[in-house]
């Protein structure tokens, strides 16, 4: 049984090759299998970090969409959506940090993933006052205005 070949950038020319190749088809350099496998494993981690940070970005945007919609007093349940995504975002930030926070790489995808994770954390921190202090207050004002005149 052979594992699926994993991709990695060529050590010499940086074109994408895989660890089942003996020589790089682009520049002809010999590919060291052991080093290539280690590099491919590192590349897998970067790819994983990148895709999890993308989910995290989506979740933090959804959190603010739910929060925004919760200001409309006639839509029920969106505030629960906010609370659920609020919890999901911090769980994902912590998990990302634990799994990928110490990755040693200069890969720009990793840098971007790390940036997205930090941004999600900032958004989460902003969501605390916005969602738990401001939002209930605004909702009460809107409700009073609409229903108690
Ligand atoms: Zn090459």
The string of pLDDT tens digits covering residues 51-63 is 999 999 999 999 9
Torsion angle of C-alpha atoms 43, 49, 53, 54, degrees rounded to 10 = 40
How many angstroms does the Cα of residue 101 sit away from the middle of ligand 1?
Answer: 29
How many angstroms does the Cα of residue 28 sit away from the middle of ligand 1?
Answer: 6
Q: Mapping DSSP to helix (H, G, I), strand (E, B) and coil, where does residue 17 land? A: strand
Quick count: other Cβ atoms within 10 Å of Cβ 65? 14
Q: pLDDT tens-digit profile of 99-143?
A: 999 988 888 999 999 999 999 999 999 999 999 888 888 878 877
How many angstroms does the Cα of residue 9 sit away from the middle of ligand 1?
Answer: 8
**22, 32 in Cβ contact below 8 A?**
no
**Counting every residue, how long is the chain?**
149
**Measured distance CA(79)–CA(73) in Å, rounded:** 10
pTM listed for this prediction: 0.75
Q: What's the pLDDT score for residue 146?
A: 79
Which of the pair, 73 or 88, is modelled with greater confidence? 88
**Measured distance CA(76)–CA(3) in Å, rounded:** 49
Kindly write down the DSSP assignment for every residue of 65-91, as one continuous string: HHHHHTTSTT--SHHHHHHHHHHHHHH
Angle formed by the axes of helices 78-100 and 33-69, to 10°? 160
Q: pLDDT tens-digit profile of 5-57?
A: 888 888 899 999 988 889 999 999 999 888 888 888 888 899 999 999 999 99
23 bridge partner residues? 30
Residues around ligand 1, an ion, CB closer than 5 A: 10, 12-13, 24, 26-27
**Measured distance CA(120)–CA(93) in Å, rounded:** 7
Please name the residue that has the structure tokens 């950038």. Answer: 9
Q: Which residues contact 92 (CB under 8 A, 6 or more apart)?
A: 52, 55, 56, 59, 120
Q: What percent of the chain has pLDDT over 70?
A: 96
How many angstroms does the Cα of residue 31 sit away from the middle of ligand 1?
Answer: 9
How many angstroms does the Cα of residue 36 sit away from the middle of ligand 1?
Answer: 12
């Amino acid at each position: 049984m052979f594992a699926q070949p994993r991709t990695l950038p060529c050590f010499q020319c940086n074109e994408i090759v895989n660890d089942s190749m003996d020589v790089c088809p682009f520049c002809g350099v010999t590919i060291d299998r052991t080093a290539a496998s280690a590099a491919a494993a590192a590349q897998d981690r970067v790819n994983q970090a990148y895709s999890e940070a993308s989910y995290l970005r989506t979740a933090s945007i959804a959190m603010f969409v739910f929060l925004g919609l919760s200001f409309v007093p006639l839509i029920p349940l969106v505030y629960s959506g906010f609370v659920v995504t609020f919890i999901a975002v911090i769980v994902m930030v912590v998990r990302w940090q634990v799994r990928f926070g110490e990755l040693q790489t200069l890969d720009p995808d990793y840098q971007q993933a790390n940036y997205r994770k930090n941004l999600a954390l900032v958004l989460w921190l902003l969501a605390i006052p916005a969602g738990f202090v401001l939002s209930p207050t605004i909702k009460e004002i809107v409700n009073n205005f609409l229903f108690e005149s």
